[in-house]
Structure 1
């Protein structure tokens, strides 16, 4: 006696059709009759003597088929397996749906009587719109069920979603009064076995009109079984029929929900009494389902995009925080609490070598190191996630507190650093539609006794207690964790490993740039001098032509601007490369001289107030240039104020001397503050003042060479305070 698992039942070659349908099969090459359903004689006077004949050879018998416009215009040699063609024909005064399709070497002709009249165009279009316009997944599925419910009028319409292990759950439902609800119930994988799921992905709608009716055999002129994969009238499995009887229903209809070419779920409909659904309404239900699947896909895409945008925002902030540290370990350990939240975990452990830093609720260090050892010894899993770590027997670790859910990723090639996110165990229940345990029974199949899976006889709610599992990681959790790992690889480990190489490259590049800047500025000096002399001669020779003098004056102004710019570039280059002599300098004397000269050349009305001016360590030439630029800017940009005022004050702070130069000038707009020290940068509110945007770049470079720094505080139209930090003598 053989045992036949439910996965082994060949449901696609049942050898029967249901009694509401009729079938004729043609050989695709010869177009002659190859098989037919036993009940075909109810429509056409034919028997097995018709095997090998074409319809044209018996025109009187097949006159209704030969009159089909669709069949007459089809080239049966070129139609594809996925193509289906529909027509409506009259036979003996009755209307029949006529379906034509090809599968492999056979052309199938299927007939079923038209059972309804259809005058519901506005109803259909409104249902399409209601599904398409639903705002979220719950509304989408409820609108779908409502549409299918109204179209087929069955007692129970359910939305059944497949889970990762092949089992399923009812996530939405619509029932008539007094019909038992199956909402939230789970069904084991064996209820819809693997080959059934594969078939439902190909043939997306199927009906079992009457589970108590006798199936109609297919008569064939060959021993080869007829593959009914795409048949709308295929006879159902006896096991499936018994299953439906055990649930207390007599009719079943379903359409497949396909997302990303995978069987995501089904709309499953049941009726207590036998009931056939006309082909048109079955097609409508299928179209409703396709529209809902598309609407759900669109909704999930929008949701994923919003999640992705939010995650990218967080990742951008995380990058900045990671880069604020000088070494990898500090960088990771300093951000452990934040990284815990990205995949919504109960806890996070970061491991660098044998050092551990944790956040939230995590296992003990001893147990963390056990998981680390497992992770490092498993060569195939650079990233791993499970919500059932104790039951998966990973590394024979058993049940570890706070580690029912585990997700880890490595941040280096040598598996030295990794992040492990944890989720705690949650107590839960699964409500099953009957006891999911498999039971077998003996059946006689083709004269042989076989042990087969027996359908459940009771569907009374069975409660299974769930232990040792965590809340499953969602796709967005896994994506967020992988994004964090990738960000660490990008902004920390890789950066730290290459820092010296990059510094060397940057040094060489800056030296080349300085050399180029000096060369260009020096080489342009002579031609500009010649241009300036010629322009001055031209101006003198046309002293009696005002218009010419005006244009020449404009040229001279442009040449002067270029000379100032070149001097600025040369000064910037020298600030980086010229030799310096660091010594204690009398800062008060330098500031007094610079202030006096600046007032004389820029604005004699400016009031410059000086407080304490302690000495600093610096190079005399460079220090003079720093104060010349900063004080000069303060005087220049406050010159339009009715009472221009500049305050200069220094103070000793530990090992540093801090100077503040404050003015009441035009201030710096917030939009310009990020690029204040870039060369040739000029603010919009400074365009009416003379300048070339080089001065602050020179000061920035000089302060770096002197071992100090420059910063500022400013508000537009309220003035600016520059802060200079020097080394204390």
Structure 2
């Protein structure tokens, strides 16, 4: 026979589910798929009056003749509200409870005394009210409006159900540190409300077990674990065991806290460990099977409610993000990607993501809003984000060491969310540093009780220890990363749309607008652009002596002249003016918010002078000139009508020899001062 001793390796990496031993307040039986005993804890005689070695090889019916055990445990009676595969059994003068579960081709049966044999446990009348407790907890949960409130409601019902000295609600933070957000204490018992416990207090291997086995009792920290006789070549998997022995480091941790017994219940939301309800007793304390499973059932109910509340909160946040994205798309498609529109939408993005600052690089232009660091550290941030990008959307909530040398980045960019829209365009959202005074339950990085054979040494001190965090910001939520990805998709589609629209509205040779863009622009100009103080004017420009350029130098040289003439005219115009090429050597300009006809004439003369400067072609200096006609776009007048009038003025000038400016003579607008 093989005796499996409960020996562990390092607590941080140990396979805790392969404990090799159980706690002494119960016994363990192991059956094969033929319902024969192939293993037992060495203390099994306390419950069955038979030594473990005597059981090996015996069939189930030899020990429990009146209790059938189908392979799937389907016919085991349920005991208690949440009991799964539990069976009450009277064996001689012993009132027992059996719990069973499967592992591979083995069935594990655990035996404990029923409640009335456990000194100091809950009175019978409270044990009988488990259904009422579950109903009360479920009803109370329905009135809670936040996940934290629901978890605290669960904690108080578990405290009532168990009667332990101290019951705390530990919520896991994003870095797996735990924070005590609520507690229930008996008189004279020390509390930890508001204090933090470092992540290594409950290492990853233990957290993984808490997700699977959702309630866990350690009845006596001072009791020695009981070995298991099991001749199998593989150690027993005790993941689902009620009695699994605890790692020595955890036992020492309990002793250091002055805790003799503990009972923990997992809050698992959507498959992830949200928190724990941890119960402490200063004296050894057992808790009946049914009460433990009642607490697990209440925790599962609370987790469903917490999940629903989180889902509702995220749905509301997603809806808000969807609404601002719809407004962004509509605004930029309607108004066009003007500087004002982009600034306005960037501010909306900043607010939607609860960011303190936002920086966008869009179509070769930088846009900023909110509070941002200066240019030099901002450029360092950009380089770091782009060189450390693991995905098109990525971020951090703690300033990287490479950036911490910039005090401005620590203050303004301790959190960053980088959205790389495409190779050229991006958005960076920033969150300020959020210094926080954290109160730890003892120094988190100074363990001082060493357990032989382990790397983890549990802390001896749990006195409050304060630390101020630096270089940290509020973390980005999962739904915010999701919203950032949706925003990226929208912006890529919008850029494609704008590019196609630009192509449809742009002259392919000069890059200026075409007739359609000119028409769209006139339609967008509101009536306020013309009135008693201002008016809208239209210029029509036709290049003089352009045909000889094509005939002498070729069409590529002629194209070069058209491009350069367009550039010269653009440099003389305001951002609000629109220059378009209508075809051939003909151009048009729309000029909103004009105040005098004299100003039009002055602009016309400057345009003529700019066009008349020499053009360098094939080592020659070539000159052309221009004839410009102008007309006022009266309210109610179409673009074609205004262009027709400007065309009449332009041809009058051209037939007079060209190289000049003429205003449409039929214009009846009152002459402004200076006209």
TM-score normalized by the length of structure 2: 0.68
Residue 22 of structure 1 corresponds to which residue in structure 2? Answer: 27
Distance 1:93 1:46, change over 3 A: closer
The answer to whether the aligner puts 1:298 opposite 2:308 as a matched pair is yes
Match in the other structure for 2:321 = 311
The equivalent residue for 2:35 is 31
Indicate whether 1:238 and 2:248 are aligned.
Answer: yes
Aligned-partner Cα distance in 2 for 1:707–1:261? 69
Q: What do the CA deviations read for 1:164-198 (whole angstroms, capped 9, x no partner)?
A: 32322112222222211111211112111111111
- Equivalent residue for 1:464, pick from 462, 467, 486: 467
Partner SS for 2:493: helix
CA distance in 2, matches of 1:329, 1:395: 33
Partner of 1:41 in structure 2? 45
**Distance in 1 of aligned mates of 2:31 and 2:41:** 12
Judged with a 3 Å threshold, the aligned counterparts in structure 2 of structure 1 residues 128 and 442 are, in CA distance, closer, same or farther, namely closer
Q: How does 1:135-214 map to 2 (within 5 A)?
A: 135-214=145-224
Residues 301, 54 of structure 1: CA spacing in aligned structure 2 closer, same or farther, 3 A cutoff? same
Q: 1:295 offset after TM fit, Å?
A: 0.4
**SS at 1:158 equivalent:** strand
SS in 1 for 2:399: coil
Aligned equivalent of 1:228, options 212, 216, 238 = 238
Partner of 2:98: 98
Q: CA deviation at 1:231?
A: 0.6
Provide the C-alpha distance between the structure 1 equivalents of 2:92 and 2:642, rounded to a whole number of angstroms. 104
Taking the aligned partners of 1:382 and 1:397, their CA distance within structure 2 comes to 25
The Cα shift of 1:331 comes to 4.8
**1:67 match:** 66
The answer (yes or no) to whether the contact 1:329–1:352 under 8 Å persists in 2 is no
The 5 Å alignment of 1:448-463 reads 450=453, 452-463=455-466
Do the aligned residues in 1 keep the contact of 2:249 with 2:451 (CA within 8 Å)? no
Q: Does 1:656 align with 2:661?
A: no
Does the C-alpha gap of structure 1 residues 478 and 50 become closer, same or farther in structure 2, counting only changes over 3 Å?
closer
Whole-angstrom distance in 2 between the partners of 1:255 and 1:411: 44
Partner of 2:342: 332
Does the C-alpha gap of structure 1 residues 502 and 85 become closer, same or farther in structure 2, counting only changes over 3 Å?
A: farther
Q: Secondary structure at the match of 1:96?
A: strand
Q: Which residue of 1 aligns with 2:431?
A: 423
* Distance verdict in 2 for CA 1:143–1:438, change over 3 Å: same
What stretches of structure 1 of length at least 5 have no aligned partner?
445-449, 505-509, 511-653, 660-701, 709-726
Change over 3 Å in CA distance of 1:239–1:728 after alignment to 2: farther
Q: Contact (CA 8 Å) 2:399, 2:415: kept in 1 or not? A: yes
Provide the aligned C-alpha RMSD in A. 3.1
1:107 CA displacement: 0.8
Deviations 1:300-333 (A, max 9, x none): 1122222222332222222222224444766534
Deviation (angstroms), 1:706: 5.4
Separation (CA, whole Å) in 1 of partners of 2:227 and 2:667: 104
Matched-pair contact (CA < 8 Å) for 2:150–2:305: yes
Tell me: CA distance 1:139–1:90, structure 2 relative to 1, closer, same or farther (3 Å).
same
The equivalent residue for 1:271 is 281
* Whole-Å separation in 1 of the counterparts to 2:217 and 2:388: 48
Cα–Cα, structure 1 residues 90 and 408, in superposed 2: closer, same or farther, change >3 Å? same
Q: Secondary structure at the match of 1:356?
A: strand
Distance 1:498 1:222, change over 3 A: same
Give aligned pairs, total: 498
Q: CA deviation at 1:483?
A: 3.9
Distance in 2 (CA, whole Å) between partners of 1:78 and 1:113 is 21
1:85 match:
85
Structure with higher RCO (Cα < 8 A, 6+ apart): 2
Q: Secondary structure at the match of 1:335?
A: helix
Return the offset for 1:297. 0.7
**Within the alignment, does 1:119 sit opposite 2:128 as a pair?**
yes
Corresponding residue of 1:12:
17
Cα gap change, 1:165 to 1:77, in 2 (>3 Å): same
Mapped pair 1:434 → 2:442: yes
Residue 38 (structure 1) shift: 1.3
Cα distance in 1 for residues equivalent to 2:504 and 2:26: 76
Post-superposition shift, 1:372? 2.1
* Equivalence map 1:608-647=2 (5 Å): none
1:532-551 to 2 correspondence within 5 Å?
A: none
Cα-to-partner distance string for 1:391-449 (whole Å, 9 max, x where unaligned): 3x36997872522211111222x2x11111112223222211111115366655xxxxx
In structure 2, do the counterparts of structure 1 residues 7 and 427 end up closer, same or farther at CA, with 3 Å as the change threshold? Answer: same
Q: Distance in 1 between matches of 2:276 and 2:240?
A: 17
Q: Is the 8 A contact 1:388 1:468 kept in 2?
A: yes
How big is each residue's C-alpha offset from its partner over 1:244-274, in whole Å with a ceiling of 9 and x where there is no partner?
1111111100111111212222111111121
Instruction: Give the Å deviation of 1:286.
Output: 0.4
Distance 1:112 1:655, change over 3 A: same
CA distance change for structure 1 residues 470 and 728 in 2, over 3 Å: closer, same or farther?
farther
> Which structure 2 residues correspond to residues 567-606 of structure 1 after superposition, within 5 A?
none
CA contact (8 A) 2:133 2:157 kept: no
Q: Distance in 2 between matches of 1:334 and 1:122?
A: 56
**Preserved contact between residue 253 and residue 270 of structure 1 (Cα < 8 Å):** yes
Q: Judge conservation of contact 1:440–1:453 (CA < 8 Å) in 2.
A: no
**Shift in Å at residue 232 of structure 1?**
0.4
**2:632–2:642 contact (8 Å) kept in structure 1:** no
Structure 2 distance, partners of 1:200, 1:258, is: 9
Which SS does the other structure have where 2:139 is aligned?
Answer: helix
Moved more, 305-314 or 30-39: 305-314
* Structure 1 residue 221 displacement after superposition: 2.8
Aligned partners of 1:75, 1:344: CA distance in 2, in Å? Answer: 53
1:367 alignment partner, SS class: helix
Q: 1:728 to 1:140 in 2, by over 3 A?
A: farther
SS at match of 1:8: coil
What is the Cα deviation at residue 103 of structure 1? 0.6
Q: Is the 8 A contact 1:343 1:478 kept in 2?
A: no
2:291 is matched with 281
User: Where does the alignment leave 5 or more consecutive residues of structure 2 unmatched?
Assistant: 1-7, 77-82, 117-123, 507-515, 517-630, 644-665, 669-675
